[in-house]
Amino acid sequence: MSSGHSSQTRSSAKAAANHASDDQVSAVRAFNRFYTRKLGVLDQQLLKSPFSLSEARVLYELAHSGELSAKEIGIELGLDAGYLSRIVQNFDEAGLILRKPLPTDRRQYQLSLTAKGRQAFAKLERTSQDDIAAMLRPLSTEDRKRLTGAMDTVERLLDMPRSPAPVATLRDPRPGDMGWVVQSHGAFYASEYGFDAGFEALVAEIVAKYMTSYDASRERCWIADIEGRPVGSVFLVKASDDVAKLRLLLLDPAARGQGLGQRLVAECVAFARACGYRRMTLWTQSILTAARKIYEDAGFKLVATEPHRSFGQNLIGETWERDL
């Protein structure tokens, strides 16, 4: 079965749902409160230092960017000009910074850290490192990877207009990837299409058969990977001496928009041709419109349809084929 790729346009109403729900807004606010408490930044002073959170952020910018104007720091950190002016005045009085008028605008100052300022930042940095290490220490290695991966996802999603999405690479499966294939199919199709546990059981059966009777000369699995995280899969298995079957095409929604589905199917076609197969076949469902478009673009033709009741849903199964 080519259970596969999600429909990128489930409905016009869903595609137009750009407004966050009240529950989603509440969830983000709750996480902000939790994480702020976890890092201890609600304390009047940050990390038991003499600095507030905003003051520490200004120190960080100066330590990592060299000389900056107060205006540049304000824009980067989104700080009110009056509030930033008070921070700069306090730093100047404490001997942490040097202020030089800008040649192009004598009303603006170029700021840089003094030796005392660099020492203050270094102490703050060491304390931060130690506190974060202590927070992570009780977690297992796997949980630390999950935590930092989730943080990376949060940063990437909220910074999408400024940071281009990393490009996926295609690789052979690693230990744990087959479990990911089963879990991801089950979770995605339950969420998007209401499929019941029977679908996840079918995927598990397909994966188990592939692993126990794998023929390296005529079968293969590709895992799409973004920065060490699986985001897609496809399998090419032997149906007969002359026919190869494409199965389990899946894309994580985070991997859309870079032609990854087309790349995965193209790898299958090229491998099948190199193995000497004469034809390829696949089975999918009529509701998977995005996947059907990928198959059509790759030269597959719809050859048969059959209504059926599976996975708790009334579906129309489709058989697609192409010559090699």
Evaluate if residue 3 carries a pLDDT over 60. Answer: no
148 domain residue, yes or no: no
- pLDDT band of 50, cuts 50, 70, 90: confident
CA distance 257 to 6: 12
Task: Identify the pLDDT of residue 45.
Answer: 47
299 domain residue, yes or no: yes
CA distance 254 to 275: 32
Give the number of domains in the chain.
Answer: 2
149 domain residue, yes or no: no
288 domain residue, yes or no: yes
- pLDDT band of 221, cuts 50, 70, 90: very high
Domain identity same for 172 and 309: yes
Domain identity same for 173 and 315: yes
User: Is 223 or 101 the better-scoring residue by pLDDT?
Assistant: 223
What's the average model confidence in pLDDT over 132-150? 87
Domain identity same for 131 and 221: no
Domain identity same for 117 and 178: no
What's the average model confidence in pLDDT over 250-261? 85
Using DSSP's 3-state secondary structure scheme, residue 261 falls into helix
The CATH number for 111's domain is 1.10.10.10
User: Which residues are CB-contacts of 166 (< 8 A; sequence separation ≥ 6)?
Assistant: 226, 227
4 domain residue, yes or no: no
Task: Identify the pLDDT of residue 162.
Answer: 57
Task: Identify the pLDDT of residue 232.
Answer: 94
User: What CA–CA distances, in Å, run from 88 to 52, 109, 114?
Assistant: 13, 10, 13
Q: Which of 4-13, 100-109, 213-222, 248-257 has the lowest mean pLDDT?
A: 4-13
- pLDDT band of 39, cuts 50, 70, 90: low
185's tokens: 């199919």
Domain identity same for 311 and 246: yes
What's the average model confidence in pLDDT over 285-297? 93
Evaluate if residue 215 carries a pLDDT over 80. Answer: yes
pLDDT digits (tens, 9 = 90+) for 228-242: 899 999 999 999 999
- Please give the mean pLDDT across all residues of the chain: 85
Task: Identify the pLDDT of residue 49.
Answer: 66
pLDDT digits (tens, 9 = 90+) for 177-211: 999 999 999 999 998 899 999 999 999 999 999 99
14 domain residue, yes or no: no
Task: Identify the pLDDT of residue 10.
Answer: 42
Task: Identify the pLDDT of residue 154.
Answer: 86
- pLDDT band of 95, cuts 50, 70, 90: very high
- pLDDT band of 47, cuts 50, 70, 90: low
User: What CA–CA distances, in Å, run from 89 to 44, 47, 67, 237?
Assistant: 19, 22, 16, 69
Positions of E strands within the chain: 68-69, 97-102, 105-113, 169-171, 220-226, 229-238, 243-251, 279-285, 301-310, 313-323
For residues 207 and 185, the answer to whether their CB atoms sit within 8 Å is: no
CA atoms lying within 13 Å on the CB side of residue 154: 10
Q: pTM here? A: 0.55
15 domain residue, yes or no: no
CA distance 99 to 114: 10
Highest mean pLDDT among 107-116, 152-161, 279-288: 279-288
Domain identity same for 238 and 97: no
Task: Identify the pLDDT of residue 164.
Answer: 63
DSSP letter string over 278-291?
SEEEEEEETT-HHH
Neighbour tally for 256: CB within 10 Å: 17
Residue ranges making up the domain that contains 288 = 168-323
Task: Identify the pLDDT of residue 46.
Answer: 53
For residues 101 and 151, the answer to whether their CB atoms sit within 8 Å is: no
Domain identity same for 209 and 130: no
Q: What torsion do the CA atoms of 124, 127, 133, 135 make, to the nearest 10 degrees?
A: -100
163 domain residue, yes or no: no
Q: What torsion do the CA atoms of 67, 69, 75, 78 make, to the nearest 10 degrees?
A: 80
Q: Strands 97-102 and 68-69, how do they pair?
A: unpaired
User: Is 33 or 92 the better-scoring residue by pLDDT?
Assistant: 92
Evaluate if residue 83 carries a pLDDT over 50. Answer: yes
Percent of the chain having pLDDT more than 70? 87
What's the average model confidence in pLDDT over 38-54? 60
For residues 236 and 244, the answer to whether their CB atoms sit within 8 Å is: yes
Task: Identify the pLDDT of residue 189.
Answer: 94
Evaluate if residue 166 carries a pLDDT over 80. Answer: no
